[in-house]
Amino acid sequence: MQNAQVIYLNTIEGLLEENELDKALEALLDLDKQTRSGLRQDVIMQSGNYKEASKMFQRGMISFEEFSRISARTRFGLLELMKDLPKRVQRDAQIRNLNTFQFQVPDEARLEKIIGPQNNLLRINWLEKALQASRAVCRVVCADGELGTGFLTKDGYIFTNNHVIPSAEVARDARVEFNYELDSAGRTKSRTAYTLDSGDFITSPPDQLDFTRVRVADNPGNPLSQWGFVEFDPGAVPTIGEAVTIIQHPQGEDKQIALNANEVLSVWNQHVYYTTDTEPGSSGSPVFNKDWKVVAIHHAGKTDAEGGLPVNARGDRRGANRGVLAQQIIQMLGTAGQSSPAQQQPVAPKSSGSSESASGAAPSPAPAAGPGKVVPKFVVIYDVQDTPHCQALNRHLFILKTTKKIEIYNVHEGHLGKDFERIAREQAATADFILVLITPNLFNTETWFNLVMEGMAQGKRIIPIHIEKLDIEGTGLEKLRALPTMNRTVSDFPNTDAAYLDIVAEIKKLLAK
């Protein structure tokens, strides 16, 4: 039995040496359960510190170097605990008059390893899904020789970049080619071309969302349906470290796929930044998550030698490729769909949230001043129990308010002798932006929660402000761009002032220049 203990301890030491902290922590807790060695409290303390640091690193709140230091301290602490483990087990066994080493050897599965922070194992049918998705990716050929990539969606539309097809006139003379790829023997397959219906066209310029959607003219002799389609997943915003895959026509050549070195570096404003390789001609390609849903449209990139791209609000630059988040595009299309076709070129994006978050894309600026509307109006919806949070927000927005950059209405402002709920509803109906303070109190107050839902139904630009961590799945609010940035809450910051400075900085970006 003593050999079993040695094997178990050596296994845990091996996990620690390979930086498999999660597995080592699990094994130590299992060992404590079997031997009653009294390690549990110490292990849980080490585990809590490490897991909190891991979450902060994933949210971009601490650097890789800081996370590495915390990981190293955790490994050292666990190794120190293990030095005293045999004596603890022996002592406890003598007290309980039990066999010292009467515990089970871990099964073989525990000795197998996931190397690195991500589990990269995929079911083999993932490759079949990749091939299925690739059929809907096409080459875009413009009359002037401009080449790009596009992809087909369920209703017979292709999406690409605005800088590939910038206008209905260009679309009228362009074509899209499917099946331009090589077979297993390296031979070029027979491609099929289609023209575009420029009468069903919508776009957003490169400095906004840089996309074009145009309907493909079907051909009964070669039906468009044979290529299948891909779907957007507007609720699935990539996270830092996640892998994203791009199927593309680099340099206008046969269809190719970038599978390796495809890590997400950052999500900021309406963009996601990644290391996935592309080339000229890849513009307009679908950026897929591991479920083969489109989470962005690729549109730009710069290497380190070219100066890289700014990837966060601090201005840090990285050699990276960049895509426009699908979530923002879908929200804009939902708004543009209310317009007649004549109004649909070009269209500025309309959004409901932060210009920088782990799920973030930039909302459209507030409307320019016009008759009867000098400054954009912000209505703050919150539960009365959260008045201190509203006061903190207003304190940081004070300069914008006093300099007439914004107008603010708080739903619990005093209206002695008046129906303030009715007044709040009237104020929300005329708001340019609705700020919603997300706490459990809001969801336990029917009046204010319903007012938020009414605003969503009316297409208002709603910005959730997360005060504390809360599961809001199913409310619809989880699909909106939120503040503070980087998918954080006010409670995540070292102090509330830092959180509200972050929030106000993003609100300033919404104001017309």
Respond yes or no on whether the N-terminal peptide bond of residue 484 is cis (omega within 30° of 0).
Answer: yes
Q: Give the CA angle between residues 317, 318, 320 to the nearest 5°.
A: 130
Residue owning tokens 């017309």: 512
Torsion over CA: 421, 425, 426, 430 (sign) = positive
CATH for 377-508 is 3.40.50.10140
- The helix or strand, by DSSP H or E, that contains position 257, with its residue range, turns out to be strand 256-258
Q: Which amino acid is at 43?
A: V
Helix (H, G, I), strand (E, B) or coil at 3: helix
* CA atoms within 13 A of residue 320's CA, in its CB half-sphere: 20
Copy the structure tokens of residue 385: 């129990």
How do the pLDDT tens digits run along the chain, 513 residues long? 445 566 667 777 777 766 677 777 887 777 777 766 666 777 777 777 788 777 777 666 777 667 777 877 887 777 777 776 666 666 555 544 444 444 454 544 444 555 455 556 778 888 999 999 999 999 999 999 999 999 999 999 999 999 999 999 999 999 999 999 999 999 999 999 999 999 999 999 988 899 999 999 999 899 999 999 999 987 778 888 889 999 999 999 999 999 888 889 998 888 999 999 999 999 999 999 999 999 999 999 999 888 999 988 888 899 999 999 998 899 888 755 433 333 344 444 333 333 333 333 334 444 444 444 468 899 999 998 898 899 999 989 988 888 888 999 998 875 544 577 888 888 888 888 999 999 999 988 888 888 998 888 887 889 999 998 888 888 888 888 899 988 889 988 878 888 898 899 889 888 865
User: What residue spans in the chain does CATH classification 3.40.50.10140 cover?
Assistant: 377-508
C-alpha distances (whole Å) from 152 to each of 3, 171, 241, 323, 445 are: 61, 15, 28, 17, 43
User: What residue spans in the chain does CATH classification 2.40.10.120 cover?
Assistant: 118-348
CA-to-CA distance for 64 and 266, rounded, in angstroms?
13
Q: In terms of Cα–Cα distance, which of 311, 312, 332 is closest to 321? A: 311
Copy the structure tokens of residue 115: 């190397």
Q: In terms of Cα–Cα distance, which of 438, 431, 370 is closest to 410? A: 431
Q: Which amino acid is at 58?
A: Q
Burial class (CB in 10 A: 0-12, 13-18, 19+), 352: buried
Asked whether 506 and 500 are in contact (CB, 8 A), the reply is no
In the prediction, which pLDDT does 5 show? 61
In the prediction, which pLDDT does 52 show? 79
Contacts of 84 (CB under 8 A, 6+ apart): none
Q: Model-level pTM? A: 0.50
CA-to-CA distance for 352 and 366, rounded, in angstroms?
11
Count Cβ atoms below 10 Å from residue 60 Cβ, excluding itself.
Answer: 20
CA-to-CA distance for 180 and 184, rounded, in angstroms?
13
Torsion over CA: 168, 297, 365, 408 (sign) = positive
Does 118-348 carry CATH code 3.40.50.2000?
A: no
Torsion over CA: 490, 494, 500, 505 (sign) = negative
CA-to-CA distance for 259 and 276, rounded, in angstroms?
8
Q: How are beta strands 175-178 and 157-160 bridged, if at all? A: unpaired
Asked whether 247 and 257 are in contact (CB, 8 A), the reply is yes
CA-to-CA distance for 197 and 434, rounded, in angstroms?
38
Q: How far apart are the first and last CA of the chain?
A: 75
Q: In terms of Cα–Cα distance, which of 234, 248, 429, 246 is closest to 333? A: 234
